[in-house]
Structure 1
């Protein structure tokens, strides 16, 4: 074997004084966490070969993003040009300033429900304000280095609201899919389906035929040619069918009057404190969704390429992109998992591919926007049906139905609230339920691992000198009273289990001479547990009991001392 091979180096004995120390890359300084990957790529060296790969990948993703951007904008209750503007502005900045080499940004299905709701209640200006606030929040999240933690939202919660969004997107496309010509469908899920089912017998056959043709082409292209742009093929096929047979089908041109061939000038709506307060919950939902989806997309890209993204830099880039998109006439954006995966499969090497994708969409707006007027709305609705099916994650949903009861409850509650109430409420309730479930499980784990030992005064009196506090036969009174009680805590000592110390004192009955709390296995302690501990120590002092804290680790000891527990005065700290 070659002496310079990695396997030979890895097998060198660490105890050999002549062996070189293992290589460990130096950690980045704090500001290094916010260096965009684009600068890293350019610093490493960027050549013609990489540019060719990025060019092909960028153009491929642009072809995929073109119909999706318009379809998602229409489903969100706004005009198709705003979807393209979002893909151009946000897509360019997310790639240029983000922390991932391969991230493709733009409008996504996750935002359809919240955007539609904001426009319905506050108008487009309200959506812009919410997008700007969400962008500022994302920048703050990144600067506060919350990127490491924002992706810790439990999988059942993510699956629940993602599947709920998919069902709502599907429901919103029934009108255009069958040409029902419903002018003002109610936004509530049950009321909307009541209206849709009443109007379903009056479906328009040409519109239904175009939608079926588009859907068939998409599915056929995906099966036979997975690398081809199935969405563009399907939408183009629907447009050709409408033109060839002169079908009386509603198009982008007939409903929206076409797409402008210019980008709008930056614009800020009138902002007031009342509007900010009213839109703050929706803005927080947008920020959380953008952060979660972008970081999930970056994790998927890392898994496909072996690279490592910078989560906090990604959040800052997402925030700047959302602020810019809102000011330029777009709406909220985030990393798109499917488009990012397409980018990687198409041979992308760097963020330049995402920037090319945005520039290609800009070229379409400036040169070929009039062609979009011929696209049938039924074809765009068919593309969103496929998007909704992909978002539904029905296999994961079905798999989670076999998870523990608490996870099932989180999944179904989040799903039900997303569909029937509101996405903001669903996320808030889901996160709170996850926190409560986590605390319950941790409290149960600590309780299960905790116990006390009663050491009798006269050992000869008892055959069994050590009993747990939970045994009915444990001595509690008279001369059987233990001289020393050892109470062991295993696991985090936090507010969920803080009351257990007081419970132990009640179970013991007559206070012992010495009460030892073994904290060897307590990695962390919080203020509530410290307060409960202080109350237990005060109770012991009232009965003349000496309290010892044994094996306290540095972090819990610092907390205890900072909150007033003094060694030798209030309590004895014993290292053994």
Structure 2
């Protein structure tokens, strides 16, 4: 449980990484809290509670956890449902807390049951469409706040009511503050990356509004604002929840748990790539679940592993769990000492921050590569995207996975054979070892689809050490979008292992797809891609390496 919690030689980096991640988290936590309908303060509650607990009990040493954009979208749906049921946020607080607690409990159960490994099998087009849909929702929900008005938590209602923006004279102060926030966030990093641009925008625009006494809506205008002091335990509010609400609690709890699991484990994979480590997916789910339980007890927003904050932590020197704890403690100290200062923050500043968050969530890579992937993948992506934005997030993912499954059942599973050649082959025959070969060959056969994404990377982790790794794709009949990206990750793993990847692929649709997604020449140079084994052998011989035997 406490493995990788603390190492003396990494202490300085862990402290700096945690503090830097905490600074980045401040404006985001406030913005997510406000957008959820709970209030800015509840974003901070969730940020410090999940940040500390998930770091201690999770399975990714460098993970920074807290409220995220996707989790905030579903949290807003939960809050809206509670308001519909009870008439106000205050009256429905018990139901909200119950849903948040349920999400944590379900995540712990998922980890105990070993379900972490199954998250990886969600097809890339489904994830791409879903995450892009979340990004679009966040952007749409900030339109009214950018004009200084309260927003409906439902995207369709926002779109239907867009005409209402122009019934009254425009508040150019609100629009100017929001626009300036966005500009600062995107341009300040050109000057320096030492200070998070979102924090600079938050401080600068809040100061501007205060100094010039601009007519803008402030966090203080929310009921209660941001109080000073430790949050209250809200478990007693559960008394308002009856048996009639059980289905709602389970439904929303499952939605939050599933999305949080996906969000967290995707971030864990990113952390693995940056630190060259391997996370424990089931332990990570348990840690995230315990974090959400802790957050739920005080009404804090549920959260997940946060990609940007995790990368910031690693880049600043974070290597162990204590970095995540430092991040959470910093937020707690802010809450206890400087909370009331947050009351001066304009909502239009938070809207500007969330505009950039929403845009950042949009999967631009998936859309850029759309021409390079099968039409079926594009159809799945767009279907999930539209359903996510305009209908139901849970159904969108379910329908997307079903579509991908129906398309893939006509294809075979992952096929492949391994063989050692050259020096490694002789070593294997002599003493049973194959760890110092010149060349290692893996033949990839049959259709490659979303189910093979992690199979590629798992295989690479088992490859013996060799100077060159040859992936023969001659008998691979098709690569969908998920498999192409999975192959790309595997090739990067090969390069990270100080081995040189070589590809054998005829000049067919598969090769064109790899070129269009920039695996060729972006990851594997064109001179290391061959039309057949003969050409590959000749290249190897030119390097003084024993060529594979026929």
- TM score, norm. by length of structure 2: 0.70
User: 1:159-198 to 2 correspondence within 5 Å?
Assistant: 159-179=128-148, 181=149, 183=150, 185-198=151-164
* Alpha-carbon separation, structure 1, partners of 2:312 and 2:292: 23
Asked whether the equivalents of residues 85 and 328 of structure 1 are also in contact (C-alpha less than 8 Å), the reply is: yes
CA displacement, residues 347-381 of structure 1 (integer Å, 9 cap, x when unaligned): 11211111011101110111111111111111111
Matched, 1:60 2:60: no
* Alpha-carbon separation, structure 1, partners of 2:40 and 2:156: 27
Matched, 1:438 2:438: no
Asked whether the equivalents of residues 211 and 382 of structure 1 are also in contact (C-alpha less than 8 Å), the reply is: yes
What is residue 106 of structure 1 aligned with on the other side?
66
Distance 1:60 1:188, change over 3 A: closer
1:348 partner SS: coil
* Alpha-carbon separation, structure 2, partners of 1:435 and 1:281: 24
What is residue 412 of structure 1 aligned with on the other side?
382
Structure 1: 5+ residue stretches without partners: 1-35, 447-489, 493-576
* Alpha-carbon separation, structure 2, partners of 1:425 and 1:116: 17
Give the C-alpha shift of residue 400 in structure 1.
Answer: 3.1
Matched, 1:140 2:103: no
Give the C-alpha shift of residue 254 in structure 1.
Answer: 2.4
Matched, 1:82 2:42: yes
Structure 2: 5+ residue stretches without partners: 83-91, 416-444, 448-550
Give the C-alpha shift of residue 313 in structure 1.
Answer: 0.5
Give the C-alpha shift of residue 230 in structure 1.
Answer: 0.6
1:149 partner SS: helix
Matched, 1:249 2:222: no
User: 1:219-298 to 2 correspondence within 5 Å?
Assistant: 219-268=186-235, 269-270=238-239, 271-298=241-268
* Alpha-carbon separation, structure 2, partners of 1:437 and 1:296: 24
Asked whether the equivalents of residues 39 and 225 of structure 2 are also in contact (C-alpha less than 8 Å), the reply is: no
Asked whether the equivalents of residues 138 and 315 of structure 1 are also in contact (C-alpha less than 8 Å), the reply is: yes
What is residue 391 of structure 1 aligned with on the other side?
361
- TM score, norm. by length of structure 1: 0.67
Of 187, 195, 199, the match for 2:165:
199
Give the C-alpha shift of residue 203 in structure 1.
Answer: 2.4
* Alpha-carbon separation, structure 2, partners of 1:222 and 1:200: 34
* Alpha-carbon separation, structure 1, partners of 2:47 and 2:154: 29
* Alpha-carbon separation, structure 1, partners of 2:242 and 2:341: 40
Of 41, 46, 51, the match for 2:7:
46
* Alpha-carbon separation, structure 1, partners of 2:156 and 2:298: 35
1:307 partner SS: coil
* Alpha-carbon separation, structure 2, partners of 1:242 and 1:344: 34
2:216 partner SS: coil
What is residue 337 of structure 1 aligned with on the other side?
307
User: 1:531-550 to 2 correspondence within 5 Å?
Assistant: none
Give the C-alpha shift of residue 283 in structure 1.
Answer: 1.6
Give the C-alpha shift of residue 257 in structure 1.
Answer: 4.0
> How many residues end up aligned between the 2 structures?
405
Asked whether the equivalents of residues 131 and 283 of structure 1 are also in contact (C-alpha less than 8 Å), the reply is: yes
* Alpha-carbon separation, structure 1, partners of 2:205 and 2:214: 10
* Alpha-carbon separation, structure 2, partners of 1:424 and 1:187: 17
* Alpha-carbon separation, structure 2, partners of 1:152 and 1:429: 15
Asked whether the equivalents of residues 72 and 301 of structure 2 are also in contact (C-alpha less than 8 Å), the reply is: no
Larger displacement relative to structure 2 (96-105 or 434-443): 434-443
Give the C-alpha shift of residue 433 in structure 1.
Answer: 1.9
Give the C-alpha shift of residue 41 in structure 1.
Answer: 2.3
* Alpha-carbon separation, structure 1, partners of 2:266 and 2:162: 35
What is residue 122 of structure 2 aligned with on the other side?
153
The structure with higher relative contact order (CA 8 Å, sep 6+) is: 2
* Alpha-carbon separation, structure 1, partners of 2:23 and 2:153: 32
What is residue 81 of structure 2 aligned with on the other side?
121
Larger displacement relative to structure 2 (326-335 or 360-369): 326-335
* Alpha-carbon separation, structure 1, partners of 2:399 and 2:94: 28
Give the C-alpha shift of residue 404 in structure 1.
Answer: 1.1
1:441 partner SS: coil
Of 345, 351, 376, the match for 1:381:
351
* Alpha-carbon separation, structure 1, partners of 2:405 and 2:233: 41
2:339 partner SS: helix
Asked whether the equivalents of residues 189 and 419 of structure 1 are also in contact (C-alpha less than 8 Å), the reply is: yes
State the superposition RMSD in angstroms.
Answer: 2.1
